[in-house]
Structure 1
Amino acid sequence: MKKRKLLMIPGPIEFEPEVLRAMSLTTTSHVAPNFIETFGHCLELLKNIFEAPNGQPFVIAGSGTLAMDMAAANLIETGEKVLVISTGYFGGRFNDIFKRYGASTTVLRASIGESVDLAQIENVLKTDQFKALAMTHVDTSTGILADAQSIAELANKYGALSVLDGVCSVAGERMEQENWGIDIVLTGSQKAIGVPPGLALLMASKRAIEVWKKRKNPVPNYYADWANWLPIMQAYEERRPSYFGTPSVNLIYALEVSLQSIIEEGMVQRAQRHKKLADAFRRGITAIGLKLMPKTEEVAANTLSAIYFPEDIDGGLLRKKIMESDVIIAGGLLPEIKNKYFRVGHMGAVSANDLLAVLGALERVLLELGHCFEAGRSMAVFQDTILNWPESSLA
């Protein structure tokens, strides 16, 4: 009998064994030649992952929230206007961060289960001159997928920098930073990138760097200031030793392993795999009468699912019993409805077998708690979807 549970929350995720093995390597100096090579290689690989060959990567010890903080601190000065597109909890966090640095923010909030209409975004952009537009590609609280490409096009049309929170999307959803004209994309290591928590990852466009260079005032955050970090990133990429703050040596060893694995799979193929598994999982969920938070397929993320508890079921008890079945899922995060839904992560190294385990545990607990449906239905629908997935959908 195994002594561990299957972790199926929207991050941290289940990690590949070779990534975890890299974490256990003997810690070396952060200016040792072998580490300089690894760090420099990671920075180069990230340009492929973000699809930003001319971008400037930053890899900093911290979380995805630090990456959000870095974007706001370096780009925004007091009184400048920022438009925030919010589809959940993390859109609100973006707003809080920009306001902390003195921004005058306008927030467009989507109704629960929906995205913000593009026409509404354009109407607001027409009314004023915004320094930046911030959006969440996949909001981890709702499982809503934003049309990042179209929103970035609007930002560019009206002269605003575009900032994308890709914490729950990068390396899981299709995202082409340079082709889509996105100025900043950021993420954390513990999501689809597939590395344990502890790294803030950010890719800045040439335009974003130029805007930062023209600031009138110093960046009001010492640790986040690109003036401290840019020379370090450039040095490592050029395979030269440098120092500002000690990097997370073992996490960066693990990052190299994971990034290489992602590149080997292929960015298009990886996004396709996530889409296929997510579609099959959603079909399995709805087949047993459960309701998803996203109201349409077009706005449903492929890296996690937000699912309402059946009205006749105690949600807290359901989660507890699923954990007793050796599967860990996440509770709700939106304050106004947090006790009405749960979340399942399906990103990174996730497999069909992992999602079948979730569906099996969920079915057993629902039946035990008296929810009526045909036993085995969700798993049968999942399998049928996987087996009959149209090849055209993977083109």
Structure 2
Amino acid sequence: MSGVPETAADPRPSPPPERPDPLPMVVGPTRPHPSVLRRMARAADPIDAPSSVRDLRRALVLTRRLLGAPAALPFALPGTGTAGMESLAASLLAPGAPVLVASTGMWGDRWRDICLRLGVPAHAHTCAPGRAPDPGEVGRRLAAEPHQALLLTHVDSSSGVRTPVAELAGVARAHGALVLVDGISAAGAEDVRQEVWGVDAYLTSTPKALGIPAGLYLAALGPRAADALRARTWAPRHYSLDLRGWAPVMRAALEGRFAYHQSLPGNLIGALAEGLELVVEEGRERVRRHRRLALRLRSALDAEGLANLVADDRDRANGVSVYRTPPGLTTGELLRGAAGHGVLLQAGTHPRAAEETFRVGHLGNVDEHDIDRTADALRRLLAPRE
């Protein structure tokens, strides 16, 4: 994370040591901190109450800090991560003008599908499973034909690939294209420097590395995207997902005022503010913690002979690992076996490698105990039977 000062590790009390049985080691939803759950359980105040405005303002200010975007226009809105992707596309991409999608798996492909449904021609630079986009190829594609935007997935949870956003954003801006990034499986576990990198719109969601209950997506529009939204001459087919209608609400909240477009879920906004406070207080140690846990898991699973889908270590995400199912087991058998040893894992979802992969999520409030328990479950599952 950027824009977040260095702080000591674990500034707030950690979640209690008790763990669910079986233990979910999944991409999402992840385990919230108890203080977030307590805030979630409180009845919501009226949407125009000063307390509701304060919660929204707090969440928006913290979103800027989370994403390293101090001058961006932030949004906190109801919906899934996919709704957030559709919201950005519908609000910022003009129908009929092409975009380039650099796809590292399922979620890059979803960017493409969303655009096509909105009447936006989407050209794909599709990477081999486990491979990051090639900046040189992206540059050649953008040079060969004008594109209004480059769409990226910071971390694709189907492949475990971390995309080099900073480098690709530089390539896109050199060719006059907006840069839209899906950071749903990244923010809170990866370094995010939206303003420094020149990313025009960065999107994330609550139930992954942020450890906040599902139901909200967050976005931050940099100056170019905010100007494009304001100057837009066409009207999208969507109403509830159009960021132009929401922008005055967010600007008013940043100024401590109430404005209405649609009703926000007050208890979710309160939980968001509480959860983001925890994330921001942990600071850059949070990214380092996720990296340490990823290395701890991978070291243990490497010793068991499991093959990570991602070839280069520099492209491996901090919060999700995708492994090839070992010979002699189907993915379903592996998942059932791991559950029998007390750990819930997830099947692969990569469009071209789903049947041969499984996923381990180590996002949010995961700690060393969870990593060791996961490695032990797989060790026992894969141990030779006499």
| Bucket of the pairwise TM-score, normalised by the shorter protein | over 0.9
Report the equivalent of 2:138: 121
What amino acid sits opposite 1:30 in the alignment?
I
Q: 1:2 Cα shift?
A: 7.6
Report the equivalent of 1:188: 205
Report the equivalent of 1:304: 320
Judged with a 3 Å threshold, the aligned counterparts in structure 2 of structure 1 residues 371 and 196 are, in CA distance, closer, same or farther, namely farther
**TM-score using structure 1 length:** 0.90
- What is the correspondence of 1:1-395 to structure 2 with a 5 Å cutoff? 4-266=21-283, 268-367=284-383, 370=384
CA distance in 1, matches of 2:129, 2:221: 31
What amino acid sits opposite 1:351 in the alignment?
D
Instruction: Give me the identity figure in percent.
Output: 33
Q: Could you tell me which runs of 5 or more consecutive residues in structure 2 were left unpaired when the two chains were aligned.
A: 1-17
8 Å contact from structure 1 (residues 85, 108) kept in 2: yes
Which consecutive aligned stretches of 4+ in structure 1 deviate over 6 angstroms post-superposition? none
Show CA shifts across 1:111-163 (max 9, x none): 11111211111111111111100010100101011100000010111110000
8 Å contact from structure 2 (residues 29, 213) kept in 1: yes
Q: 1:320 Cα shift?
A: 1.1
Q: Which range is displaced more, 69-78 or 321-330?
A: 321-330
Show CA shifts across 1:289-331 (max 9, x none): 0000001101111110001111122321221122233321111
Show CA shifts across 1:183-212 (max 9, x none): 000011101121011001111111101112
Show CA shifts across 1:20-39 (max 9, x none): 11111122212211121111
8 Å contact from structure 1 (residues 136, 146) kept in 2: yes
CA distance in 2, matches of 1:3, 1:139: 26
Q: The residue matched to 1:343 in structure 2 has which SS?
A: strand
Show CA shifts across 1:2-48 (max 9, x none): 86432211111111111111111122212211121111111111110
What amino acid sits opposite 2:111 in the alignment?
F
CA distance in 2, matches of 1:263, 1:75: 28
Q: 1:371 Cα shift?
A: 7.2
RMSD of aligned C-alpha atoms? 1.5
Q: 1:70 Cα shift?
A: 1.1
Show CA shifts across 1:256-302 (max 9, x none): 11111111111x22111111111121111111100000011011111
Report the equivalent of 1:392: none
8 Å contact from structure 1 (residues 312, 371) kept in 2: no
Q: 1:215 Cα shift?
A: 1.9
CA distance in 2, matches of 1:107, 1:337: 18
CA distance in 1, matches of 2:385, 2:136: 41
8 Å contact from structure 2 (residues 21, 343) kept in 1: no
8 Å contact from structure 2 (residues 129, 353) kept in 1: no
Judged with a 3 Å threshold, the aligned counterparts in structure 2 of structure 1 residues 311 and 215 are, in CA distance, closer, same or farther, namely same
Q: 1:364 Cα shift?
A: 1.4
CA distance in 1, matches of 2:370, 2:19: 15
Show CA shifts across 1:36-86 (max 9, x none): 111111111111001100001111110111111111111112211101000
How many pairs does the alignment contain? Answer: 369
CA distance in 2, matches of 1:227, 1:297: 40
What amino acid sits opposite 1:331 in the alignment?
A
8 Å contact from structure 1 (residues 43, 57) kept in 2: yes
Q: Could you tell me which runs of 5 or more consecutive residues in structure 1 were left unpaired when the two chains were aligned.
A: 373-395
Q: The residue matched to 1:58 in structure 2 has which SS?
A: strand
Report the equivalent of 2:8: none
Show CA shifts across 1:241-263 (max 9, x none): 22222212111111111111111
Q: The residue matched to 1:164 in structure 2 has which SS?
A: strand
What amino acid sits opposite 1:201 in the alignment?
L
8 Å contact from structure 2 (residues 107, 156) kept in 1: yes
Q: Which range is displaced more, 234-243 or 199-208?
A: 234-243
8 Å contact from structure 1 (residues 173, 302) kept in 2: yes
What amino acid sits opposite 1:361 in the alignment?
A
**TM-score using structure 2 length:** 0.92
CA distance in 2, matches of 1:253, 1:180: 30
